[in-house]
């Protein structure tokens, strides 16, 4: 989804729901049911990804700095160059 700046990857970052151990016995009546977790396909988690710096061509973290005009700009943490907005 380039307009939203998001990436959808199937099978990644699916949420899990944990269920408690119930007071119900198994069909044979021997032991209690165990708790377990279920994969929920309807709930998506966040997928972490890094920005690629256009000047050093490396994945990098983003920092912020005030430039000479007093405007806050994004900065590459590796090569210390300004990053474009977006």
pLDDT score at 36: 67
The three-point CA angle 23-25-26 to 5° equals: 145
pLDDT tens digits, one per residue of 27-81:
666 666 666 666 666 666 666 678 889 999 988 889 999 989 999 999 999 999 9
pLDDT tens digits, one per residue of 3-24:
766 777 776 666 777 776 666 6
Phi and psi, residue 43, nearest 5°: -115, 125
């Amino acid at each position: 989804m380039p307009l939203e700046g998001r990436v959808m990857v199937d099978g990644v970052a699916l949420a899990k729901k944990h269920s408690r151990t119930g007071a119900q016995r198994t069909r044979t009546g021997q032991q209690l049911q165990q708790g377990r977790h279920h994969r929920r396909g309807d709930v998506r988690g966040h997928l972490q990804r890094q920005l690629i710096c256009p000047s050093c061509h490396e994945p990098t973290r983003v920092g912020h700095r005030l430039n000479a005009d007093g405007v806050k700009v994004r900065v590459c943490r590796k090569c210390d160059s300004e990053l474009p907005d977006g």
